[in-house]
Amino acid sequence: MKMKHAVLMTVGLAMSSLVLSPTPSLATLTDPAIAEDDIVVIGRETTKAAIAEFIKTTIATPKGGRHDGQYARFARPICPKVVGLSPANVEQVEKRMRGVALAADMNVAAEGCDANVFVMVVADGNEAVSMLRKKKSRVFGGLSHPERARIANSGGPAYAWKRIQTGSAETSALQNSDETQKLGPVTEVPIMNSNVKSNVKRTVQQSMTHSFLLLEKDALVDMTTVQIADYAAMRSYIDTRDSGNQTIPRYSILSLFDDVGANEAAPLSVSEMDLVLLSSLYNSPSDVSAKIQSSAMLQRFEKELMSRPDN
């Protein structure tokens, strides 16, 4: 019951100004493998085709497809909040998540900010998501009921979703703002006009306003806080796709919970490819189609990888 209460209180942060006291998890975490301030990445020789496939495999296909849709990202600085671990581990994971964002050239809010990235360690992910669907349904934003059911029944040990809204590409104002620090009615923003006359640029962008990630504590046993934080950062900062029959490359921290072969080891931290993926997404145009975004991301990938000291 304490864990259920903690989860409800945590998502309550996205709905009001409630103060949360984290409930310690029973998961046994080890000390960070590296200092929290250091982001050490694993390099990898990668072809252009492999980079394009990594982008395609990792980021969710936008609604409307690559020609009409857009990849979503946070328009505002990220502010992570972790619950369900000991206070010491919470501090380490939150600090590391901030470090990953900074290493990827993302904007990070100052300490004491209003959280928009929530990571919760729970006993049973399906039960926790089902409970939130009944008691805190607004945290799912515009997700349909089938989509919410799919999240609950995804099998874990990670359950993730994003609140994504259409916003102005010029001002970042949300078209249908339901600012979650307010419990009042939805605030309607007038239709957004633009002075930009272009067949390529658009007046709108897809903005992630909040990210939610539930991790089952039994799956975290003997993992380091670096592994947990880096995985949480990658799952939270991008709208990751359901892998389906596609396999996330083993060098990516996103493969952390995938089945490990006899001669394989779980990734210890974010890889160079992970960080460049984040950096390329957040430094690509937000007011164009996903097809143009992915092209810009691919160019940044090549530039970043070619600028390495060993090249």
Summarised one tens digit per residue, pLDDT across range 203-223 is 667 788 899 999 999 999 889
Alpha-carbon gap, residue 211 to 233, rounded angstroms: 10
Is 29 exposed, middle or buried (CB count within 10 Å of its CB: 0-12, 13-18, 19+)?
Answer: buried
Residue of 8, 32, 79, 40 whose CA lies nearest to 228: 32
Q: Global pTM?
A: 0.79
The 10 Å Cβ neighbour count of residue 105 is 12
Q: State which H helix or E strand residue 92 sits in.
A: helix 87-103
pLDDT value for 272 = 87
Summarised one tens digit per residue, pLDDT across range 101-152 is 999 999 999 988 999 999 999 999 989 988 888 888 888 888 888 888 888 8
CB 170 within 8 A of CB 194: yes
Alpha-carbon gap, residue 113 to 239, rounded angstroms: 22
DSSP string, 237-251: HS-BPP-TT----TT
pLDDT of 265 higher than 90: no
pLDDT value for 47 = 72
Q: Which two tokens stand for residue 270?
A: 């974010």
pLDDT of 198 higher than 80: no
Summarised one tens digit per residue, pLDDT across range 41-53 is 555 556 777 788 8
pLDDT of 91 higher than 50: yes
CB crowding 233-262: b at 16 or more within 10 Å, else e:
bbbbbbbbeeeeeeebbebbbbbbbeeeee
Cα angle value 148/80/209 (rounded, 5°): 50
CB 176 within 8 A of CB 186: yes
**Amino acid making up residue 163:** R
CB 164 within 8 A of CB 174: no
pLDDT value for 250 = 84
- Of the segments 89-93, 138-142, 290-294, 307-311, which one has the largest average pLDDT value? 89-93
Peptide bond preceding 77 in cis form (omega within 30 of 0): no
Q: Which two tokens stand for residue 230?
A: 């880096």
Q: Which of 62-71, 89-98, 196-205, 278-287 has the lowest mean pLDDT?
A: 196-205
CB 271 within 8 A of CB 41: yes
Alpha-carbon gap, residue 121 to 187, rounded angstroms: 32
Longest dimension (CA), the chain: 58
pLDDT value for 38 = 58
Q: Which residue has the higher pLDDT, 240 or 120?
A: 120
Q: Which residue has the higher pLDDT, 134 or 229?
A: 229
In this prediction, residues 186-201 reach a mean pLDDT of 48
Q: Which residue has the higher pLDDT, 186 or 159?
A: 159
Summarised one tens digit per residue, pLDDT across range 164-193 is 877 666 555 555 544 434 333 333 344 444
Alpha-carbon gap, residue 24 to 87, rounded angstroms: 7
Q: Which two tokens stand for residue 62?
A: 């936008």
Alpha-carbon gap, residue 229 to 94, rounded angstroms: 7
Q: Which two tokens stand for residue 95?
A: 């600090």
- Of the segments 10-24, 240-254, 280-294, which one has the largest average pLDDT value? 280-294
pLDDT value for 107 = 94
In this prediction, residues 26-37 reach a mean pLDDT of 51
Lookup result for tokens 């250091």: 38
Alpha-carbon gap, residue 82 to 102, rounded angstroms: 18
